[in-house]
């Protein structure tokens, strides 16, 4: 297991997401941003909009995705 924070994934807070793969933490971040948006947390809106754009245009977002996978790979195991 490895841990990345909301901030490391482009968000505004230090909530930790744990997962076996980069995809696990990216999906946890997506859920976190959805929940924050639903709760009316405006501080997460910019990150939520960016995440929505990545899901809609995955080819354009490959750079971000590669960067997150590389960052995840460089993290120590928890």
| Residue 60: per-residue pLDDT | 79
Q: DSSP letter string over 51-63?
A: HHHHHH-TTTTHH
Say how far apart CA 48 and CA 71 lie, in whole Å. Answer: 20
Q: Per-residue pLDDT for 54 more than 90?
A: no
- Judge whether residue 66 has pLDDT over 90: yes
pLDDT at residue 58 is higher than 90: no
How far is Cα 16 from Cα 53, in angstroms, rounded to an integer?
22
In a domain, 78, yes or no: no
38 part of a folded domain: yes
Confidence of residue 56 (pLDDT cuts 50, 70, 90): confident
pLDDT per position as a tens digit, 16-47: 999 999 999 999 999 999 999 999 999 999 99
- In a domain, residue 63? The reply is yes
How many structural domains does the chain have? 1
Instruction: State pTM to two decimals.
Output: 0.90
Residue 53 included in any domain: yes
Containing domain of residue 52, as a range? Answer: 2-73
Instruction: Evaluate whether residue 14 is within a structural domain.
Output: yes
């Amino acid at each position: 297991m490895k841990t990345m924070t909301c901030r490391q994934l482009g968000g505004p807070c230090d909530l930790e997401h744990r997962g076996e793969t980069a995809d696990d933490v990216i999906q946890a971040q997506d859920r976190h941003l959805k929940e924050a948006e639903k709760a009316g947390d405006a501080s997460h809106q910019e990150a939520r909009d960016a995440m929505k754009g990545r899901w809609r245009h995955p080819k354009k977002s490959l750079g971000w995705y590669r960067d997150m996978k590389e960052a995840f790979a460089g993290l120590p195991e928890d």
